[in-house]
Structure 1
Amino acid sequence: MGNEYTTDVPDDVLSVWVAGWSACRGYSSEEVSGHPAVLLADKTGDWEYFAFEPGDEEFAAVARDTTKSSGRIFTVLTRNAQRIHELAPQHGLRVHHNAQSLMVTDMSGQDAEDPWYRDADFKTELEKTGSVHRVRVVHEGNEAAHGVVAVVDNVAVFDHIETDINYRRRGLATHVMRALIASTFEHMVDTGLLIASHDGQMLYNHLGWDTVCDVMILKPATEN
């Protein structure tokens, strides 16, 4: 994929990211057959499994669980995408999506001040539920952009930073990120994690984020 990894892999990156990601989406993470898993109750009603740089035996074990149902997903964090491309078909899987990367930032270098948006007609709303914070930007009753962050073990995991198609190219994604970042400092945070599309990496690089590894989503090859 030709991705450039610009920082070391944080400790416990898989367990912390899965816990934060699942909290952002209203899921609970657990271990199934020894590997992290989340039940996607609101989507497929089936399991999504996760692994970071799985060895051959671990990959085979998770693949066996994944192929038990066509609705299951196996998400792999890796710095060797070619190896995963080669392993997947050997174990009844196919690469469904591979255009994302895990990114990290040192939160001490981020701005703790609430951001100001240049157009007063855009209102920023912040909702907090424990360690999960949600930001939405509203314009004339329409949601223009939104995002969510969950704090787990001093790590802020960001998710769903999205701008409505009618409001793009206005800096709203940057504004949402800055609002979420500022909100996390009421907790003890030292690291930030997020998944970005390869196109989105330019934005996050500009905001002080580094690329850790690729994120590959695998599904059963026999999926209907």
Structure 2
Amino acid sequence: MDAELVRSWVEGWVVSRGAAPPVVEPWGFTFEVGLTGQVTRHVLTDADEPLIRKLTETVTAPNTWIKFFLPPQTVAPWVAPGWRFDSDGFVMSAPLRPTAAEAPAGYRVRTWGRGGVTRVVVLTDDGAFAARGQVAVPGPGRTAVVDQVETSPAHRRKGLGSLVMRTLANAAVDAGSSTAVLGATTEGRALYESLGWRTHGPLTGLIRDAAPEAAYA
């Protein structure tokens, strides 16, 4: 995986999620996320068998995440007990340009920005949630990171995902970005590819399970 692409994704992701600034490691990045289900995240730029074995054997804090750019079937034999795989993902990128983003009949769009992050919510005319997403721009001219795109099951196949993505792209262009990157789920990948996004490779995650409670005091 291209190191610059990974760095851009990490820098934008921490802005999007309000995580701690990333610490550069010999093998990638570490940063504190600070959530119950995700305390710390390690992103491995150049993952290989010795590194995966070492980290999964020595990192024991529950709800630590490790992200890397190899398919899960390659890595599975290297993983120590106590870890489980996150859902499959992909790293994708796209050039950005202004584009029309008009809500279909029955929906309205609200956007707002704070701290380098623009959020988009699509609501029905009566105020029910339909779709959302956000984009982080770490600084002028920097690569934007699209994040947390979601469409309610009741409102899918109505073009709302495309509406969110186009609205986010326009916001990123207004903030000075010409390119964007994201981590896609298998389900989201088809939408992004239909909008011209390119898949660079797999994005795989490991999650450290909580230690089982002691059977006796």
- Category of TM-score, reference length = shorter chain: 0.7 to 0.9
Residue type matched to 1:219 in 2? I
State how far apart, in whole Å, the 2-side matches of 1:82 and 1:198 are.
16
In structure 2, runs of 5+ residues without a counterpart are: 213-217
State how far apart, in whole Å, the 2-side matches of 1:45 and 1:184 are.
27
Could you list the per-position Cα deviations for residues 82-111 of structure 1 after superposition, in whole angstroms to 9, with x for gaps in the alignment? 3322221xx34534224211111122xx4x
Provide the identity percentage.
22
Pick from 41, 44, 52 the counterpart of residue 59 of structure 1. 52
Residues 14 and 22 in structure 2, CA contact (< 8 A), matched pair in contact too: no
Could you list the per-position Cα deviations for residues 189-222 of structure 1 after superposition, in whole angstroms to 9, with x for gaps in the alignment? 2221111112221111110011111111112367
Count of matched residue positions in the alignment of Structure 1 and Structure 2: 208
Alignment of 1:1-224 (within 5 A): 9-31=1-23, 34=26, 35-44=28-37, 46-66=39-59, 68-78=60-70, 80-88=71-79, 91-92=80-81, 94-107=83-96, 110=97, 112-119=98-105, 121-139=106-124, 140-152=126-138, 154-220=142-208, 223-224=211-212
Residues 40 and 65 in structure 2, CA contact (< 8 A), matched pair in contact too: yes
State how far apart, in whole Å, the 2-side matches of 1:28 and 1:70 are.
18
3-state SS of the aligned residue for 2:174? coil
Residues 104 and 209 in structure 1, CA contact (< 8 A), matched pair in contact too: yes
Please name the residue that 1:6 is paired with.
none
Runs of 4+ with deviation above 6 angstroms: none
Superposition deviation, residue 81 in structure 1? 4.0
Residues 30 and 36 in structure 1, CA contact (< 8 A), matched pair in contact too: yes
3-state SS of the aligned residue for 1:202? helix
In structure 1, runs of 5+ residues without a counterpart are: 1-8
State how far apart, in whole Å, the 2-side matches of 1:74 and 1:207 are.
29
State how far apart, in whole Å, the 2-side matches of 1:146 and 1:122 are.
12
State how far apart, in whole Å, the 1-side matches of 2:25 and 2:200 are.
26
Coordinate RMSD, CA, aligned: 2.4
State how far apart, in whole Å, the 2-side matches of 1:131 and 1:222 are.
33
